[in-house]
Amino acid sequence: MAVCLPSAVFAKGLTSRVSTANPGSAVMGFFVWEMAKVGLTVAMLFAAPRVVTDLSWPAMLVGLLVTMKVYWLALGMRRVFYR
Structural domain count of the chain: 1
Q: What pTM value is reported for the model? A: 0.71
Range list of β-strands (E), the chain: none
DSSP 26: H
CB atoms closer than 10 angstroms to residue 40: 16
pLDDT of residue 37: 92
pLDDT for 4-28, tens place per residue? 899 899 988 888 776 667 788 888 8
Residue 63 has pLDDT above 90, yes or no: no
pLDDT of residue 19: 64
Residue-number span of the structural domain to which 60 is assigned? 4-81
CB atoms closer than 10 angstroms to residue 25: 15
What share of the chain in percent tops pLDDT 90? 25
CA separation for the pair 13, 71 (Å, rounded)? 19
